[in-house]
Amino acid sequence: MPAKRKSSSRNSAPELLFGDLWEFDPAPESAAPNLKDTYSLFIGGKEVAPRSRNYFESVNPATEKALTRIPAAGKADIGAAFTAAESGYQNYWSKLSGKERGKYLYRIARLLQDRSREFAVAESLDGGKPIKESRDFDLPMAAAHFFYYAGWADKLEYALPGASTTPYGVVGQIIPWNFPLLMLAWKIAPALAAGNCVVIKPAETTSITALKFAEILQEAELPPGVVNIVSGAGATGQLIVDHPAAKKIAFTGSTAVGKAIMRSTAGTGKGLTLELGGKAANIVFDDAPIDQAVEGVVNGIFFNQGHVCCAGSRLLVQESIAKAFVQKLKARIATLRVGDPLDKNTDIGAINSKGQLDKITELVASGVSEGAELFQSKCSLPKQGYFFRPSLFQGVTQSHRIAREEIFGPVLSILTFRTVGEAIEKANNTAYGLSAGVWTDKGSKILKMSTALKAGVVWANTYNKFDPTSPFGGYKESGFGREGGKQGVADYLKINA
Ligand code: NAD
């Protein structure tokens, strides 16, 4: 509906009235996702039906309708995948020079770019994220990781200078549902560049782009067994972790499952890297550029519906500006458009699954019952699908569950501070240590904060900035090991004694 015009004096332009009268026309993405009715496992370079004969449905969280059938790999399938990976390593991958391995990675990157529109639509359909994010962030970043690590494949001696290294051989990789294809790229690209073959499992609610990725690998004519893609739930993941041929496990997911995997691999001699949860502080000082900081806070918590391990889910705002800042923040939140993930105007898409929606709802209820003050956008929500209003809590204390636990949804907890020391103490008062943000006009304060904050990544006057050259990973219960940069490839190499 067009905005109404108010008549004004004869010589001036009519004034546009926004507010409730102003609506965006739908702008649906038109590219076809080219989904199959039923997907196969990808083992030894071939698409194969699961020996388990078990399948489950992948559901579109915006419509609650099934999109396709996904195979649930069982013990025999995982055994076949590791046999294929060992063969891929011995017969092909270990025999290629770094330069030749790099060529395959470049080819995969280019093919992914060629089909990025199609993959972006599939990602948004399956996971619920807005098309503008899958199109402008997930897909370009996934391709960028393959391009970047292609460059490392023939330069491994510079990843750990002076050390003699070998690849692990066969690596088991398990990824979560929040950035399905991007997490796959973070895992596969450095592992292959370092000379390993992989068995990888996507998360059960978002397996489609991983299984579609098998088409890219076939187009790239990657030798058989170098990458094997097996879908299934936690039990399938456990079979990967326990398989004796997996010489290293690379896991991204929740801290609880990460701890269980650490127990399973203890004493086995397997390598392990864990990329786990977070509860990041986004800290705004009174000398910050306020409007930019409001945008940064919004991006920090509402990007990908807040399904982000490094989401700035705890806003620490200096007391002297807190009232004005929160007022601006509320006004900005009220403008966010929640709805169809495939609409190019959508800011916040669907919550990934019914289970995740229930978890967010339960944690928000705990915030209310523990005494925090809830503010939610009044935006209209689609009648069907899993959606949650962008929300913030004021009056939050350190002991509230919403200040301590990862909500993994579009919910911000606001705390205040008076001094730099108090900001550092509150920011670090968490079991996690993945990321943090600092907003201030003072360079010296940025340097002090970035040293004092116990977080793998500290962004200054920006948030959620990623680049394949930059290592990402956590401290404390956010895990260990790094993805991205030379550290990312070094984590797939063993140092020879
Ligand atoms: P999750 O731990 O429930 O599942 C992650 C993956 O592990 C899935 O593929 C799942 O099937 C598998 N899995 C479950 N149980 C398993 C078991 N016993 N053995 C082996 N595999 C098992 O996590 P999730 O809910 O899918 O993802 C959200 C979590 O991931 C959040 O905590 C988030 O912070 C974290 N995450 C971290 C990063 C990072 O880089 N640090 C990035 C993205 C997400």
* 199 and 231 both lie in a single domain: yes
pLDDT of residue 441: 97
The residue contributing the CA closest to ligand 1 atom 21 is 237
Q: Is the pLDDT of residue 112 over 60?
A: yes
Q: Is the pLDDT of residue 395 over 80?
A: yes
What distance in angstroms lies between residue 27's CA and the mean position of ligand 1's atoms? 33
Mean pLDDT value across the chain: 95
What distance in angstroms lies between residue 64's CA and the mean position of ligand 1's atoms? 22
What distance in angstroms lies between residue 373's CA and the mean position of ligand 1's atoms? 30
Mean pLDDT of 210-218: 98
Alpha-carbon span 87 to 224, nearest angstrom: 8
**Is the distance from the beta carbon of residue 275 to the nearest atom of ligand 1 less than 6 Å?**
yes
Confidence of residue 5 (pLDDT cuts 50, 70, 90): very low
422 is catalytic: no
* 251 and 105 both lie in a single domain: yes
Does residue 470 lie in a domain region?
no
Instruction: Convert the pLDDT of each residue in 227-262 to its tens digit.
Output: 999 999 999 999 999 999 999 999 999 999 999 999
* 295 and 269 both lie in a single domain: no
Mean pLDDT of 287-315: 98
The residue contributing the CA closest to ligand 1 atom 37 is 276
CA-to-CA separations, 21 to 18, 57, 334, in angstroms, rounded:
6, 40, 14
Q: Is the pLDDT of residue 341 over 80?
A: yes
Confidence of residue 307 (pLDDT cuts 50, 70, 90): very high
* 403 and 254 both lie in a single domain: no
The residue contributing the CA closest to ligand 1 atom 13 is 234
Q: What is the DSSP string of 167-226?
A: E-SEEEEE--SSSHHHHHHHHHHHHHHTT-EEEEE--TT--HHHHHHHHHHHHTTPPTTS
Q: Note the Cα 316 to chain centre separation in Å.
A: 23
Mean pLDDT of 83-99: 98
- Ligand 1 pocket check: which of 78, 206, 252 to mutate, most ligand atoms within 8 Å of Cβ? 252
275 is catalytic: yes
Confidence of residue 16 (pLDDT cuts 50, 70, 90): low
**Is the distance from the beta carbon of residue 297 to the nearest atom of ligand 1 less than 6 Å?**
no
CATH number at residue 297: 3.40.309.10
* 243 and 380 both lie in a single domain: no
CA-to-CA separations, 252 to 45, 206, 332, 347, in angstroms, rounded:
25, 14, 32, 26
- Ligand 1 pocket check: which of 75, 78, 178, 204 to mutate, most ligand atoms within 8 Å of Cβ? 178
pLDDT of residue 212: 98
The β-bridge partners of 495 are 165
Range of the domain at 314: 281-460
pLDDT of residue 89: 98
Does residue 26 lie in a domain region?
no
Mean pLDDT of 151-175: 97
pLDDT of residue 13: 60
Does residue 35 lie in a domain region?
no
What distance in angstroms lies between residue 23's CA and the mean position of ligand 1's atoms? 38
CATH number at residue 195: 3.40.605.10
pLDDT of residue 23: 74
Assign 398 to helix, strand or coil. coil
**Is the distance from the beta carbon of residue 252 to the nearest atom of ligand 1 less than 6 Å?**
yes
What distance in angstroms lies between residue 198's CA and the mean position of ligand 1's atoms? 18
Does residue 205 lie in a domain region?
yes
Q: Is the pLDDT of residue 7 over 90?
A: no
**Is the distance from the beta carbon of residue 477 to the nearest atom of ligand 1 less than 6 Å?**
no
Does residue 199 lie in a domain region?
yes
* 401 and 417 both lie in a single domain: yes
**Is the distance from the beta carbon of residue 260 to the nearest atom of ligand 1 less than 6 Å?**
yes
* 120 and 143 both lie in a single domain: yes
**Tokens representing 62?**
């915006």
Percentage of the chain exceeding pLDDT 90:
94
Mean pLDDT of 267-287: 98
Assign 63 to helix, strand or coil. coil
Instruction: Convert the pLDDT of each residue in 471-482 to its tens digit.
Output: 999 999 999 999
Confidence of residue 21 (pLDDT cuts 50, 70, 90): low
How do 41-43 and 15-17 pair as beta strands?
unpaired
Alpha-carbon span 125 to 226, nearest angstrom: 28
What distance in angstroms lies between residue 447's CA and the mean position of ligand 1's atoms? 32
Alpha-carbon span 106 to 100, nearest angstrom: 10
Q: Is the pLDDT of residue 1 over 60?
A: no
**Dihedral sign (CA 363, 368, 372, 374):** positive
The residue contributing the CA closest to ligand 1 atom 30 is 253
* 387 and 401 both lie in a single domain: yes
Q: Write down the catalytic residue from 309, 405, 406, 483.
A: 309
**Is the distance from the beta carbon of residue 176 to the nearest atom of ligand 1 less than 6 Å?**
yes
Mean pLDDT of 409-418: 98
* 396 and 312 both lie in a single domain: yes
What distance in angstroms lies between residue 130's CA and the mean position of ligand 1's atoms? 21
Q: Note the Cα 6 to chain centre separation in Å.
A: 45
pLDDT of residue 2: 44
**Tokens representing 451?**
């040293």
Domain total of the chain: 2
* 267 and 285 both lie in a single domain: no
What distance in angstroms lies between residue 278's CA and the mean position of ligand 1's atoms? 12
Does residue 206 lie in a domain region?
yes
Mean pLDDT of 346-362: 98
Q: Minimum mean pLDDT among 7-16, 134-143, 154-163, 455-464: which range?
A: 7-16
Q: Which atom of ligand 1 is nearest to the CA of 201?
A: 9
pLDDT of residue 24: 78
Q: Write down the catalytic residue from 118, 133, 275, 477.
A: 275
- Report long-range pairs for 298-301 (Cβ below 8 Å, ≥24 apart): 298/329, 298/332, 298/333, 298/336, 299/463, 299/464, 300/437, 300/463, 300/464, 301/410, 301/411, 301/412
**Is the distance from the beta carbon of residue 238 to the nearest atom of ligand 1 less than 6 Å?**
yes
Alpha-carbon span 125 to 62, nearest angstrom: 8
* 170 and 310 both lie in a single domain: no
**Is the distance from the beta carbon of residue 257 to the nearest atom of ligand 1 less than 6 Å?**
yes
Alpha-carbon span 495 to 203, nearest angstrom: 31
Q: Is the pLDDT of residue 38 over 60?
A: yes
Percentage of the chain exceeding pLDDT 70:
96
Please, is 90 exposed, middle or buried when counting C-beta atoms within 10 Å of its C-beta (0-12, 13-18, 19+)?
middle
Q: Which atom of ligand 1 is nearest to the CA of 232?
A: 11
**Is the distance from the beta carbon of residue 278 to the nearest atom of ligand 1 less than 6 Å?**
yes
Give the residue from 390, 408, 407, 382 showing the smallest Cα distance to 61.
Answer: 382
Give the CA radius of gyration of the chain.
Answer: 23
* 270 and 286 both lie in a single domain: no
Query: 227 near 217, Cβ under 8 Å?
Result: yes
Instruction: Give the number of other CB atoms < 10 A from CB of residue 11.
Output: 5
Give the residue from 458, 162, 142 showing the smallest Cα distance to 312.
Answer: 458
Query: 51 near 236, Cβ under 8 Å?
Result: no
pLDDT of residue 22: 67
